[in-house]
């Protein structure tokens, strides 16, 4: 198994932070400070982590609202890891068009395999796969025309 990239480590930190935010209801700034002091932070893409953390915490409710129509249950019924990964994936699809949509979905799947429940990766894949055509229609259309 390859060593996670610095960007994947940034996503892992954001996942940990969102988990803590949901379960412990700690303040975003306190969680970010804890994550910055953690051993994995030095190996993470720190600039990307800060951008990702700021985005997912600031836009959390609207990102969940964007994902909600694609769910087979209420967002509140999701496991915290699944909910966090969907928020991270939705933010990347919406705010980082420089990252190919397939890469966004793949990263979410890999994190779900590592941190989620038994079939979390299938669930996360299915939801983000339904969301991507809405948020990345031009990219998906271009890929279909060239594929």
Question: Rounded to whole angstroms, what are the CA distances from 6 to 30, 35, 48, 109, 118?
Answer: 22, 14, 9, 17, 26
Report the C-alpha gap between 35 and 2 in whole angstroms: 23
Q: Backbone phi, then psi, for 99, in 5-degree steps?
A: -95, 120
Q: Are 124 and 112 in contact (CB under 8 A)?
A: yes
Q: Are 41 and 6 in contact (CB under 8 A)?
A: no
What is the pLDDT tens value at each position of the chain, 147 positions in all? 234 589 999 999 999 999 999 999 789 999 999 999 998 899 999 999 999 999 999 999 999 999 999 999 999 999 999 999 999 999 999 999 999 999 999 999 999 999 999 999 999 999 999 999 999 998 988 888 876
Comparing C-alpha atoms, which of 22, 19, 16 is closest to residue 36? 16
Domains in the chain with CATH codes:
6-146 (1.10.940.10)
Report the C-alpha gap between 136 and 79 in whole angstroms: 26
Can you give the pTM of this predicted structure? 0.92
Q: Are 112 and 72 in contact (CB under 8 A)?
A: no
What angle (nearest 5°) sits at the alpha carbon of residue 113, between those of residues 144 and 25? 110
């Amino acid at each position: 198994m390859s060593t996670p990239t610095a960007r994947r480590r940034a996503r892992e930190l954001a996942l940990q932070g969102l988990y803590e935010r949901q379960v412990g209801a700690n303040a975003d700034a306190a969680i970010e400070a804890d994550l910055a002091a953690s051993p994995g932070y030095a190996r993470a893409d720190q600039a990307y982590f800060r951008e990702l953390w700021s985005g997912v915490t600031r836009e959390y409710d609207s990102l969940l609202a964007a994902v909600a129509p694609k769910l087979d249950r209420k967002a509140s019924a999701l496991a915290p890891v699944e909910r966090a990964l969907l928020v991270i994936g939705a933010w990347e699809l919406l705010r980082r068009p420089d990252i190919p949509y397939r890469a966004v979905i793949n990263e979410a799947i890999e994190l779900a395999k590592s941190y989620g429940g038994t079939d979390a990766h299938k669930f996360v894949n299915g939801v983000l796969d339904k969301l991507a055509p809405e948020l990345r229609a031009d990219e998906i259309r271009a890929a279909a025309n060239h594929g």
